Amino acid sequence: MTEWAGRTAVEIAAAVREKRVTPREVVAAHLARIERLDGRIGAFRVVRATAALAEADEVAARADLAELPLAGVPVAVKDNLAVRGESTRVGSAATPDAPAGEDHVTVARLRAAGAVVVGLTNVPELCVFGTTEGVHGVSRNPWDTSRTAGGSSGGSAAAVAAGTVPLALGNDGMGSLRIPAANCGLVTVKPGRGVVPAGIGEGDWFGMSENGPLATTVADARLMLSVLADAVTDADAVTGAGAGIAEPGRREPRRIAVSVRSPLPGVSVSGPYVRAAREAAGALTGAGHRVRRADPPYPLSLGLTSLAHWTAGTAVDAQGLDSRLLARRTRVHAAVGRRFLAGVRGGTAREELRRRLEPFFAEYDVLLTPALARRSPKAGPWHERGWLSNLLMNTNYSPLTPPWNLTGWPAAVVPFGTLPSGAPTAVQLVGRPGTEGELLSLAEQLEGLRPWRRTAPLT
């Protein structure tokens, strides 16, 4: 039975549909792996062992089992999205412990497709920072448990990288899918605005936050994104049929700009991540794409625009919570954000950024960058440290993700290369609105040219 833990979602769903394995057997195998490994990783806040087995039996009894794209696939859900019957704590002691009355729409779509929710994953308080720790635990990178898994979807990424689930649901407001995916050697896509329902916190961080998949293969990421976007309703997604994201993108040569420059002055990109981007560019050149070194025209004001929107989003999410129960870094972040609220709500900075970048994306189809500027920080009680130390840590290790939340354009992360420690490095692919399928197609080519080990070597 344990052989099913560590399989891809595509493999599991096919086996369940063909009745080579039952959903209960699959879920039980993953629950056993969670019990064995999660004490070292800290991915989960809640493991729904009894409820998940009952849900697995319900999937097995469904009349449409043979048509379910995620038949019997165990999934984990980030703890800022409602799961019926479970509390949504968002990494905080200040949030209510009352159970949710219904699923978030993305969770409902996963369950309708045959997935089984095995647990809710850890996040930093109010999903603010690029590390995951707090009152509910510390999430560590399964490839190097001395390091953070990243954030804010750190628990979701750690769960997938440890092989305790094949898929996890997360979201991304300033890099919160892409940062932990890059740390943990996973594939993810932050979709463009409107592709997947958002409904995250109190206003989606002014429309910057998007829900998306964390997976170990491009095929799994495509499958999950198709379900989340309601692009397919049956098992055709597995074979690439259906519409939109479910279809492999165009394979003709694309115009690709490669940039290893940080968008923020004074923040440099370290050697391993520069090398990953350059080697990925070389691989895509060899595959026939037209690749050229070119830097987007990032404005000097980008850092301030990012800070204003990042903190203002937290100010909105913190309204109505008892500030005495919030960590100091969260209180300060929200207080800074309150000063920016009026300017963010009535400002034009994001529209001006889009207009500035549109000519670049008229000349190039895709932008290729390093995913991070350097490896993730040491795991530990970052929530007990000051706001400035957290701000500097986040800025210095992840300057390359926020621009694409501000524009609302799609961006994917793909494992590529390794750090000296053996942990993964990664690259980011960015495209115009509506190009999620094309980004996945390029990711699939990189996967074929430089396959990666899917899960961390845990025993």
C-alpha distance from residue 274 to each of 87, 104, 271, 404 (Å): 41, 38, 5, 19
Radius of gyration of the chain (CA): 20
User: Which position among 139, 153, 156, 176 bears the catalytic label?
Assistant: 176
Residue 279 · residue 416 · CB < 8 Å: yes
Q: Has 190 been annotated as catalytic? A: no
Residue 103 · residue 82 · CB < 8 Å: yes
Both tokens of 396, joined, read: 């210095």
Sign of CA dihedral 146, 150, 153, 157: negative
SS3 content of the chain, % helix, strand, coil (to 5): 45, 15, 40
User: Which position among 139, 152, 156, 398 bears the catalytic label?
Assistant: 152
Burial of 237 (0-12, 13-18, 19+ CB in 10 A): buried
Report how far residue 79's alpha carbon sits from residue 89's, in angstroms, rounded to the nearest whole number: 6
Q: Has 176 been annotated as catalytic? A: yes
Report how far residue 68's alpha carbon sits from residue 74's, in angstroms, rounded to the nearest whole number: 13
User: Which position among 78, 139, 259, 441 bears the catalytic label?
Assistant: 78
Q: List the catalytic residues.
A: 78, 152, 176
